[in-house]
Structure 1
Amino acid sequence: MLIVGSGLTSADMVAELDRRGHRGRILALSRRGLRSRGHPDVRGEPFGDFASSPSATALGLLGNILATLAAAGAANVNWQSVFDQLRLQGPVLWAALAPPERARLVRKLRVFWDVHRFRIAPQVASVLDRRQAASTFDNIAAACWPQMPRKASPSASGGAGKHGSRPRASTRSSTRQGRHMGRPFSSIRR
C-alpha cells in the first residue's frame, strides 16, 4: 500500500487500515520523510523561556530551542512542553526577527516545526510505532511524479497514468521517539 504524504491524514489512514485488519506493508512517501509526532500520554506545563530575550536570528532561535530541549530532557520534561511554550510565545519571537530572518526560518525550519506542532493522537502514534517495529510501515523521503504512457495523451487516458518515485539522495526517514530533532539544521546558516 502506498500513501503519498505523511501528515495527519496519512497517520489516520495507516491506523484505519490497521484497524480493518490490513497486515501488508504500508509505505508513506513524502518530500522529507518526516511524520507527525504524537501527543504525550500526560500533558505537561509549557517549558522554557524564549520571550524574555528573543533571538534576532533564525540560527539563534534554533540554538535556544535545542538548549531548551536539552534542559527539558535533563529535567525529565517532555519535548512537547517545549513546543507548547514556543507556540505560546511565538508572536514575540516572530516580532523579534527581521524579514530576511523570518524568511530563513520558514524556508529552513517550517517542515520540522510542522511535524512537532501538528501532533497525532497517542493511540495513532502507537500503531505507527508498532507497525514500524514490525517492518510493515515505513516513511521515506522521495519525489513523486506522474508518468504518462509514451504514445497516449493525458486526455486519452483520462489523465490517469503510472506514477513513479525517486528516493532523495541524502535523506532517510527517522521517526523513532528519541530522534525528534536529529541534525537536520546544518544548512540554516545559508
Structure 2
Amino acid sequence: MKQSNDWISFSQTMNDVKPMTQDKVINKHNSLEQQKKLKRLNAIKAESQDDNTLTTEFVEPIDPYDYLSFKRDGVQEGVYRKLRLGKYPIDAQLNLHRLTLSEARIEVFQFIKDCYQHNVRTLLIIHGIGQHSKPYPALLKSHINHWLPTLNTVLAMHTAQKHHGGYGATYVLIRKSADKKRENRERHSKRFV
C-alpha cells in the first residue's frame, strides 16, 4: 500500500510538468555534407550575380612549360617585343600562389579592373607552373591563358623572363583608360600649337 501512496504522491507532484520535446539528433557526417553543398550553391549563386566574366569551367589544359602569348590587333610589334622581353617597368603585381581557382578568378578580375581604373599599364601575374595541381597540371596557368584574352582591357600578355618568374609568371599590358587617352591627346595637341 505504501508503494501506491508513493505513486499517487509522485503523480500529484508531477501533474503540472509537461514532457520535453525531443531534440533532433544531428548526424555530423550529414551535417558536414549539407554545409558543403550549401557552400557550393552559395558560390554558384554569387558567381552568377557578379560582373566577373571569368569562368572556372573546364578550359583546354596547357603544359606547365608552355609559353603564354597573346596580342590584340593594333598593338605595335615593338611594344609587344618590349613587353615580351620584360623591358617595361612592372607597375603592379599579383601573386596567386596558394589560392583556389575560384579565389584566383576573383583576384585576377578585380586586379585587372583596379589597374585599368588607376592607369596602371604593365602588370606581372605570378601563377606558378603548377606541375602538381589537380585535376591536371598547370590548372591555374591554363585558366590565366584562357581568362586574360577574354578581358577587353588586356592588350597583350606573355610569359615572363626568368628573373621575373619565368614559366610561373605572365606579363600583362593593359589598355589606357579613357581619362589617360584624353590627357595624352591634350598634351600632344599643345605641343603642335
- Structure with max Cα Rg: 2
TM-score under structure 2 length normalisation: 0.28
Indicate the structure whose relative CO is greater, using CA pairs within 8 Å and at least 6 residues apart: 1
Q: Give the TM-score normalised by the residue count of structure 1.
A: 0.28
Q: Report the structure, 1 or 2, having the larger helix content.
A: 2
